Structure 1
């Protein structure tokens, strides 16, 4: 059964007489023409108008040309939120490159795997973020980096923060050349802007704009491909539905390597004339101060962000009265949290949403004026020109009120996984329906509720965690003979990982925490470990994860 199409409330229009750009290559120029001298970005002491942001992005695009970036080249970026991330990414995409964002929490081996399999030729990264030297650690790891030919250090070059080495004057033994950001930009100064404009004009709506990696139940990450046309159309629609408007000030706490941070953050702000306030690290003390100082009107993030603000002992000392719009999702949302966002934080407009990387990041949005229960217990109506149906185990379409697999069809469904036709065929049916792997139900109004997952994936503080990947790491421990990981509800993080292990001898939870933390990003590390004599399996030997989930929720022994 397909839900009704989303009908916007009274929404702010896009700039009059300015057609949407056909591609992301035209987006900075569109924003400059539409919003000009409005403030586009505030990053530390740096403040740019939309016109200045377009100039900085054009300089980055010319640098990409000077660096030899060709149409279709994959360009990876492994760095925290900043204006450098924005201009590096948009500059490369603006000359036809395909962006490959990399999770800043990844260890070098995890990052190298994505860089290698995506075929990235250029990597943008940083040195010194939270004491981590991404460039050094990656090149010192000995991992196969595939086609990677050069690394551009956005901040923290060899001569210290704010200074950078010249092009090619630092290389690893037989490894990629390392260039500082300033030197990268200087090289681009010799490229005529007409050449940049011609390359931008040559980008087509059907060209790939990005490849975002998301793991499956096998634990092997898959590169989800998305085109320019899909992205522009989707986030023009989404930004209107959630009521973003010129003059809003949006605190970007969601990481840019995530669909929500990059597309529902940076790209949506450019489409709607919204000021971007990037945050590299979520820290509640800093966020409270910045929300008051910058008169933040929009904040979006997983429930843990809002829990932290509401319960902060010094919240009352900060003026948050400018906040009008709050968006959350990616985990179960208590009704009480929606009510507290409105009453305690004072944001009258609240929305929840649902999406996955394979759908461009969005499927449905719950209207900002919905009641708290609807916001908490549903993820709203499908986007315009998006169909949602609930399918049974044999593929039959189920009526309203019957739970089954959520399937989605629309212009924004991925064309497929990079170099993985088998997984593509499994996920996208011949008639265009995307199998989400989530279990949900449509009510009589056509509102969608997500009730469970066919896949084992769970969401920790807004980040997807995949049990198979964690289980594979646990099984490398010399004392573990069997392991299973499931998600369990958590008030602060939405969900956490709970591991059940079978061992050959004594082993402590602290030891297993250290073992996994050395090998995986922190959000993937289970928060609880339980030793069992054996894992529950059926007569055929299949692991009964349903029993483990019940135990993790405290519903059984």
Structure 2
């Protein structure tokens, strides 16, 4: 990691270190680290030819692919700031981010799940006065764009790359906007490399691993814990455009995948897939997941049914460069399921409450953002004068310093004067044999102030009985925590960041008459 110093130099450094080892596999493309370096160099020279100056922003609004990696790393190698854009965004949402980040060049797609992003922007009428050019990655645009590299020398590109400092901004990722308009979070080259070197060492990512990247690259879990971590530690990058359990199981077998990371639902879908046992998953070695509460059985099933002997859980947010705490794989399934482990190496973690009591999670260190993009007031609210980032999440630290997430401050609701943290109730519901997924929200109640309403996804073929779930939760929780009503859904709604959309569930609950 020390040799790379900046993400701008990372492809060059990885080529020197790992050379002819396999770096990236996508479709028919199979590149060594040396091949990847050549492609990144050409893309960087093409970005320079487009007139992008050091410190200007280049955005990528596209699904995971080999060209996403090349375009992103090429832009950063040219001294630009990378702005990944969520592929679920509509034109107005994407345009807002492009304007606020002052994006000069946009890489996108002309056809992803039936959407032409460039046409979407053009037809929206959104004004983007600073956007000087758009390149669609999988069209004739791409070779035409790369041809511009012929007018820029290798020496000019290397000088651009060498001029980038570890303290320079490397990227701007935008928060999911669950509490309002997404906020831009700039992070530096040095921050990213330090955090994901430590992350990779803790979860045991190693040279020669074959890492299937189903997490979207517009998210830290995809780009940083995926692409950057692989380049730092010599693992093979295998991008997946869209998560489909059938496709992923087939690719895990064919490509001898050893590493998979994702939300608990990714692993649940694979474990419960009717044809999972027909696939040879013997190469699987390592898995990483994370959520407020995970069933202990899921950790055990990832190990037994998917073969990942090393399972880690983690917790983080965009404002902390994606990582706050990691639970290493040698811990017990119960510890991995119930906690997110200890603070990231070289950082601090504390709870704003008396010892043993739940309170807001605060973290401090080199992983914390310097501030939101052009928003000093929001920055002052998030990071206090002593450098502590106020995460907005609620948790408890045990006697070993292991963090247990209990919920989001904004998701907590009060029933008759008693605080209820939905994640605790959801954990209990997921322990029921007929429940695959669960989400709980608070809604107004004239007598108690608020009450809980639960939404559940049934396990395959299992009927979900509201009276039975009421009895089940009453046996395990205080009465005030028991949901007033239960609703069965085919799937939980998710927002553009892939998180359960509790705003939508609250609206649904408030519009439904409950007993």
In the superposition, the TM-score normalised over structure 2's length comes to 0.83
Runs of 5+ in structure 1 lacking a partner? Answer: 1-13, 158-163, 165-179, 393-397, 458-485, 503-512, 536-550, 552-556
**d(CA) in 2 for partners of 1:375, 1:201:** 41
2:44 corresponds to which residue?
Answer: 61
**d(CA) in 1 for partners of 2:48, 2:238:** 28
Task: State whether structure 2 residue 197 is matched by structure 1 residue 236.
Answer: yes
Shift of 1:139: 1.2
**d(CA) in 1 for partners of 2:437, 2:263:** 8
**d(CA) in 2 for partners of 1:497, 1:66:** 52
Do 1:105 and 1:522's aligned partners in 2 also have CA atoms closer than 8 Å?
A: no
Which secondary structure state, in structure 2, belongs to the residue aligned with residue 209 of structure 1? strand
Shift of 1:343: 1.1
Do 1:107 and 1:521's aligned partners in 2 also have CA atoms closer than 8 Å?
A: no
Do 2:86 and 2:496's aligned partners in 1 also have CA atoms closer than 8 Å?
A: no
CA deviation digits over 1:364-413, x for unaligned, max 9? Answer: 11011110000000000111111001113xxxxx32x1211110001110
**d(CA) in 2 for partners of 1:55, 1:61:** 10
Query: CA-atom RMSD, angstroms?
Result: 2.6
CA deviation digits over 1:310-356, x for unaligned, max 9? Answer: 11111111000100101101443110100111111111100000100
1:266 corresponds to which residue?
Answer: 227
CA deviation digits over 1:149-195, x for unaligned, max 9? Answer: 2111111x3xxxxxx1xxxxxxxxxxxxxxx1111100112210000
Question: Which of 139, 153, 157 does residue 122 from structure 2 map onto?
Answer: 139
Within 5 Å, give how 1:300-379 maps onto structure 2: 300-379=261-340
**d(CA) in 2 for partners of 1:24, 1:495:** 39
1:206 corresponds to which residue?
Answer: 167
Do 2:185 and 2:372's aligned partners in 1 also have CA atoms closer than 8 Å?
A: yes
Within 5 Å, give how 1:440-459 maps onto structure 2: 440-456=395-411
Shift of 1:216: 5.0
1:33 corresponds to which residue?
Answer: 16
Do 1:442 and 1:449's aligned partners in 2 also have CA atoms closer than 8 Å?
A: yes
Which secondary structure state, in structure 1, belongs to the residue aligned with residue 216 of structure 2? coil
Task: State whether structure 2 residue 358 is matched by structure 1 residue 429.
Answer: no
**d(CA) in 2 for partners of 1:137, 1:316:** 42
Task: State whether structure 2 residue 324 is matched by structure 1 residue 407.
Answer: no
Q: 1:244 to 1:455 in 2, by over 3 A?
A: same
Which secondary structure state, in structure 2, belongs to the residue aligned with residue 390 of structure 1? strand
Shift of 1:145: 2.4
**d(CA) in 2 for partners of 1:500, 1:103:** 30
**d(CA) in 2 for partners of 1:262, 1:199:** 22
Question: Which of 503, 526, 549 does residue 504 from structure 2 map onto?
Answer: 526
Do 2:293 and 2:406's aligned partners in 1 also have CA atoms closer than 8 Å?
A: no
Within 5 Å, give how 1:41-190 maps onto structure 2: 41-155=24-138, 157=139, 164=140, 180-190=141-151
**d(CA) in 2 for partners of 1:353, 1:522:** 17
In the superposition, the TM-score normalised over structure 1's length comes to 0.77
Do 1:76 and 1:101's aligned partners in 2 also have CA atoms closer than 8 Å?
A: yes
Q: 1:25 to 1:377 in 2, by over 3 A?
A: same
Relative contact order: is structure 1 or structure 2 higher (C-alpha 8 Å, sep ≥ 6)?
Answer: 1
**d(CA) in 2 for partners of 1:532, 1:83:** 44
CA deviation digits over 1:220-244, x for unaligned, max 9? Answer: 1100110011111111111111101
**d(CA) in 2 for partners of 1:37, 1:349:** 27
Q: 1:186 to 1:260 in 2, by over 3 A?
A: same
**d(CA) in 2 for partners of 1:67, 1:116:** 19
Shift of 1:455: 3.1
**d(CA) in 1 for partners of 2:406, 2:509:** 29
1:196 corresponds to which residue?
Answer: 157
